Structure formats: structure tokens, C-alpha cells
Amino acid sequence: MQTTPEPHLANGSNLITTFHLAQKAPLILKRQSSSVETVAPSSLRGIENYGVVEQLLFSCLQSGDDKSALLCTEQLAARFGMTDERIIGLRGMYEEAVAENPTRLEECLQTYDLALSENPVNLPVLKRRIALLRSLSRPVDAISSLINLLDAVPTDAEAWCELADLYHSQGMSSQAAFCLEEALLIVPNSWNIHAFLGEILYSGACASETTECSQLLEVSIHHFSRSIELCTDYLRGFYGLVSATSLLSRNRRLMDHSRDSSPAQASPLTDKLLDELTLFARSRLDEIVRSRSSDHQAWKDNQGELIAAKELLHRLDKSPL
């Protein structure tokens, strides 16, 4: 969604950086308010600053600094007015964050419904409402509202990704894959969506029968490959490629054993190519992990991914193909 960073798609943002950013909030807010008083508000710098304030609001909310968050919303409301669509959405997010119990959240939901009855295409509020439904653990409602939203706004890649995530959380991977394909039609060159689609197909493959599993894995490998073709050191893409190729080659070996004389594979992904790809992906992942581990300072925000990748390599080393 627009206002919640997508956990699957956010690259390089984690709680530690968010916290560091939020600690600077009082400083920035003070400078902002003093500059509003002294400098004429028409300067170009002001426009950029309001973007900063919005980002700051998100960081403050994530790190629990509700006082600064309130200041942020007040500054934004003072500039753009309380009736602005985005301001309503941001205020709503603040209210949600400070709500202590589910009844308060229900009140937020009613506020959103009221705002929507005034203006049915208030996109920020529509999206907030769906996010709230999701956090109230009503995913079915969230999915149906999101489908309604996407029916009216089919060109919103964020919303398609969110719907894919919701479907995936409900275990409906084919629907999730469809949503991600729609998102790809809007932003065809985004490697993270390619990798995400590969992940969805991979997890779908893990849950299905052997023959179907191989087909899904092949498509998943296609998408992971496309993702690393677009971004040559995308750790997530390589991680997925390593997992998918090793699983597929294990499956094929099992099938060969069980059937003895396997029919000629009709797929374009020949065994030779698959082996080559497996080897390549593992060595490349190893390379990336090593270079990033040595340069600890620059990649300290992505330690989680690095540790996971090391874990995978370690596991694969222990169980040879």
C-alpha cells in the first residue's frame, strides 16, 4: 500500500535504520517550524521539506515516537488543510497507531467509512481502510475491498502487490501469481516483483504434486532469472534461484529413479542447462555473500538477508545434490 512499506518489496529498510531516522525527528521538526516562521513559505525548499516530514511521520510511527508523529501531522495539516485526501489518510494512520484497543480501531474504521461516503474515490483513505481491515485480521473483507478498489483503479501496481500478499497469506498462490502478473504489466522492469512472483510460484510448487511442481518450478526459475538479469547483484533473486534450481534438480533425479526410463523432457530447461544454472547461481550467491560480509558497514541494514543466504549455502553444502 502507499502508506505501509511492503515487507516483501522494501529493500534496505529495516527497523534499525528507521529508528535512527526517527531519533532525528525533534531536530528536523524544530528546524522546519523555525524555517516556516522566518523564510517565506513560497520557497521551493518548502515543497521538498514536506516530503521529508511525511517520511519522518512514517519513521516516527514505526519507532513509537508518537509525539513527533503528531507534530508531523499537524505541520502537514497546517500546510495542506484538513480536508486534503492524503492528510486524511495520514491522520488516520496516526490514529490507528495510537489506538490502544480494538474498539478504537473500529472507530477509525467508521471514520474512514464516513470519509468515503463524502468522496468515494479518496484513494489514500480507501487503502488505509483495507490495511486496517487486514490488521484487524479480517483478510477476507480486506481482499474483497481491495478487489473493488482494483476494479476501479486497475493501474495501481502497489495495490496489486498488496492483493498478491493477501492472497499468499491465505494460501491462494495461483491468485497471488495472477495479481503479480498484473503488477508486472504496469511496471515490467521491476526486478523485485519478478523475484516476488518467483517466490510465490516456488512456495506454490512446494505444496503441490510432483508433475505440477516441476512445471511451477520451471516458471519460477524463469522469473528469478529475469530478476537477476535486470539487477545483477540482487541477493533475493539469487537466493530464490538457488533454492528453486536445487529443488527442481532433486525432483528430476527422484523422478528418474522412480520411473527408471524417463520420457524425454519436453521443457526448454534441459538437465544440462539446469545443472549449469544451479552451479552458477550458487557460486554467484557465495560471491555476493562474501563481498557483502567483508564490507560490513555498507550492508549492515541487510544483515538479515545475508544471514539467511549464508544459512542456505551452508545447508546445501551439507546435503550434496
Partner 1 sequence: MALQGVEQTILRDPALFYWIVFPITVVMILTGILRHYATVLMNNPPKPASTLAESRERLGLIRGVNLRNNSSVLSKESFEMRKNYLVSAYQSGAFLKDPASRGQPPANPMTDPAGMEAMMGMMKGNMMMMIPQTLIMSWINAFFSGFVILKLPFPLTIRFKSMLQSGVMTRDLDVRWVSSLSWYFLNLFGLQSVFGFILGSDNAANHMASQMASMNPAAGINPFQPGQDPDKLYQSEAENLEVIEHFCILDGVEERVLAHYAGRKSY
User: Backbone phi, then psi, for 231, in 5-degree steps?
Assistant: -135, 105
Residue 9: burial class (beta carbons within 10 Å; 0-12, 13-18, 19+): middle
Cα dihedral sign, 119-125-131-133: negative
Minimum CB distance to partner 1 smaller for 34 or for 119: 119
For the window 99-138, what string marks contact with partner 1 as x by the rule CB under 8 A?
A: --------------------xxx-----------------
> In angstroms, how far is the first alpha carbon of the chain from the final one?
40
For 37, the grid coordinates are: 516562521
Site for partner 1 in 280-309 (CB under 8 A): 280, 283-284, 287
81 binds partner 1 (CB under 8 A): no
Minimum CB distance to partner 1 smaller for 78 or for 185: 185
> CA-to-CA distance for 151 and 160, rounded, in angstroms?
11
186 binds partner 1 (CB under 8 A): yes
SS3 content of the chain, % helix, strand, coil (to 5): 75, 0, 25
- Which of the 8 DSSP states describes residue 264? P
For the window 161-180, what string marks contact with partner 1 as x by the rule CB under 8 A?
A: -----------------x--
Minimum CB distance to partner 1 smaller for 74 or for 84: 84
- Binding part of the chain for partner 1, among 49-57, 127-135, 271-279, 290-298 by CB under 8 A, reads 271-279
86 binds partner 1 (CB under 8 A): no
To the nearest whole angstrom, how small is the minimum distance from the Cβ of residue 216 to partner 1? 12
> CA-to-CA distance for 191 and 223, rounded, in angstroms?
9
267 binds partner 1 (CB under 8 A): no
Do 302 and 288 touch, CB atoms closer than 8 A?
A: no
> CA-to-CA distance for 139 and 58, rounded, in angstroms?
23
223 binds partner 1 (CB under 8 A): yes
**Positions that interact with partner 1 (CB under 8 A):** 119-121, 148, 151-155, 178, 181, 184-186, 188, 219, 221-223, 225-226, 228-229, 268-269, 273, 276-277, 279-280, 283-284, 287
